Amino acid sequence: MRENATSLAVNAYLRSSGDDARIQALEALALSLQARSLWKPTIRSYRAALAIREDARLAPTTTVSSTNTAFASSSIRSIPMRPSPVSA
């Protein structure tokens, strides 16, 4: 079921037409990856959303896990991210 959520979020991103829709899709993708304990892709999804627009709503959710290793929002910007194969 979690894999389906990830697939739906990727499809939503690919079909999105505006910045707001892209940010929402990337946030959904990050949440679905977080549920699967895929931390690096989760962080990359949040970084991609923040690259579109700095959004204070996303900043508090960048703590990946309170029970596992937590990544502060400042560390998100320090992880290198490969360029997206999809260009707008």
**Residue 83 counted as domain residue:** no
More reliable by pLDDT, 26 or 83: 26
pLDDT digit string, tens, across residues 18-34: 999 999 999 999 999 99
**Residue 69 counted as domain residue:** yes
How many helices and strands, by DSSP H and E, does the chain display? 4, 0
Give 75's pLDDT tier (boundaries 50, 70, 90): very low
**Residue 81 counted as domain residue:** no
Angstrom distance (rounded) from CA 85 to CA 56: 26
Domain assignment of residue 45, given as a range: 2-76
Angstrom distance (rounded) from CA 76 to CA 27: 14
**Residue 20 counted as domain residue:** yes
**Residue 85 counted as domain residue:** no
Model confidence, pTM: 0.64
**Residue 35 counted as domain residue:** yes
Tell me which H or E stretch contains 75. Answer: helix 73-76
**Residue 87 counted as domain residue:** no
Q: Give 53's contacts (C-beta < 8 A, 6+ positions apart).
A: 19, 23
Buried b (16+ CB within 10 A) or exposed e, 43-76: bbbbbbbbeeeeeeebeebbebeeeeeebebeeb
**Residue 84 counted as domain residue:** no
Q: Domain count of the chain?
A: 1
